[in-house]
Homo-oligomer: A and B are copies of this chain.
Amino acid sequence: MARLNVHSERPYNAEPPLDRLRAHYRTAADHFYVRSHGDLPEIDASTWRLSVDGAVAMPFNLSLADLRARFPEATVTATMQCAGNRRADMRTVAPVSGDPWDAGAIGTADWTGVRLGDVLRAAGVTPGADLHVAFESHDVVDGRPYGVSIPLAKALADETLLAFAMNGAPLLPEHGFPARVVVPGFAGVRSPKWLRRITVQDNPSDNPMQADDYKLFPPDVTAETADPAKGHTIETMPLNAAICEPPRGARITAGETTVRGYAIAGDRAVVRVDVSGDGGRSWRQATLDHEADAPFAWTFWEIVLDLPPGEHELTVRAWDSAGQTQPAQPDDTWNFKGYLSASWHRVRVEVA
């Protein structure tokens, strides 16, 4: 864990340096950002059980061995990211609450487990119904078990997993051992770790994590005036891009410099990445690298810029398959919780 930059020890919140993040398309488990809301629960996999209940015809309670035996194994390559990724950039506008994540609260892995849809169908859920799938976990936040929910349609989607493994190895304790939910495209908060219960129900979870937190508010709303019922529940994440190399403040030799980073478009594809060596006054297009058959995984990009001596602001913006692009200024997406920081990523460097 010494490889991560730690924002907080209790709860443990940490992210990798950006050059390490960009080193491999699949992020090593011990380089993967960790976002916790409580202490790390200690779970004995041999006695761990998962209960499935609520609006299902056949509720059940299964061990890890039962789950593995009853349902076919499935692997999905998907990116996970925190709703607060890049929050630090918003602090240039005005204070925001929460840890000041740089652009490293994101990572991509092969997640292996069983399809959540297979589990729910075996329990006799009614597909197509306007229902919600609530999760409850072993970690405790403010005296209550961690809990969130997702719409049934997303729970039944092919990409949504109950995962036991990450990049071919059992989940590390901090990533949810022995089992977590993986909801590709959605903010990490909807992919609970250390899962213990799944409940199909009429309404979203009333757990504060779902009902109060992780809501997007307008810029004029403050902690004092925020009405959670009026905030937008953060699920699918917006288009975003970041420069991972060179790092902020780098001193670079004049001439050709390779600039690298990632881009991601929620449930869409990244179709173009523009990179600027002059703060957005002119743009060139980066080369894109995207895993086939992984619609919910990030796109790596790379470009060689020829930088003359002087101070420069490197800038990146992505475009998605709907021809949509990112806003330019941190102020354009600012909100007091610091969620969904998704304006052009800017890195100042000095070239000599």
- Distance between Cα atoms of A282 and B220 in the complex (Å): 7
- Distance between Cα atoms of A235 and B328 in the complex (Å): 24
A88 is an interface residue with CB less than 8 A from chain B: no
A81 is an interface residue with CB less than 8 A from chain B: no
Contacts of A238 in B (CB 8 A): 322-325
Complex interface: stretch among A34-42, A46-54, A265-273: A265-273
Q: Please give me the residue from chain B that is nearest to A216 by CB atom.
A: B323
- Distance between Cα atoms of A348 and B266 in the complex (Å): 35
Could you tell me if A267 and B326 are in contact, using CB atoms closer than 8 angstroms? no
A319 is an interface residue with CB less than 8 A from chain B: yes
Chain B nearest CB from A301 CB (Å) reads: 14
Q: Please give me the residue from chain B that is nearest to A240 by CB atom.
A: B324
Q: Please give me the residue from chain B that is nearest to A83 by CB atom.
A: B323
- Distance between Cα atoms of A237 and B323 in the complex (Å): 7
Could you tell me if A333 and B325 are in contact, using CB atoms closer than 8 angstroms? yes
Contacts of A321 in B (CB 8 A): 232, 235-236
A66 is an interface residue with CB less than 8 A from chain B: no
Q: Please give me the residue from chain B that is nearest to A329 by CB atom.
A: B328
Taken together, the copies of this chain in the complex come to 2
Contacts of A339 in B (CB 8 A): 323
1/0 per residue, CB under 8 A from B, across A306-344: the answer is 000000000000010111111111001100000110100
A219 is an interface residue with CB less than 8 A from chain B: yes
Contact (A283, B220) CB under 8 Å given A232-B272, A332-B328? yes
Could you tell me if A328 and B325 are in contact, using CB atoms closer than 8 angstroms? no
Contact (A332, B325) CB under 8 Å given A220-B283, A232-B272, A282-B220? yes
Contact (A283, B322) CB under 8 Å given A232-B272, A328-B327, A328-B332? no
Which residues of chain A in 222-275 are interfacial with respect to chain B, using CB atoms and an 8 Å cutoff?
A: 232, 234-239, 266-267, 271-272, 274
Q: Please give me the residue from chain B that is nearest to A340 by CB atom.
A: B323
A285 is an interface residue with CB less than 8 A from chain B: yes
Chain B nearest CB from A117 CB (Å) reads: 18
Chain B nearest CB from A255 CB (Å) reads: 21
Chain B nearest CB from A207 CB (Å) reads: 21
A173 is an interface residue with CB less than 8 A from chain B: no
A284 is an interface residue with CB less than 8 A from chain B: yes
Chain B nearest CB from A345 CB (Å) reads: 14
Contacts of A340 in B (CB 8 A): 323
Contacts of A284 in B (CB 8 A): 220
Contacts of A232 in B (CB 8 A): 271-272, 319, 321, 323
| Contact among B274, B324, B328, B342 for A342, CB-based, below 8 A | B324
A-B contact pairs, 16 of them (CB 8 A): A218-B274, A219-B283, A232-B271, A232-B319, A232-B321, A232-B323, A236-B322, A236-B323, A238-B325, A239-B322, A267-B322, A323-B339, A323-B340, A323-B342, A325-B333, A328-B329
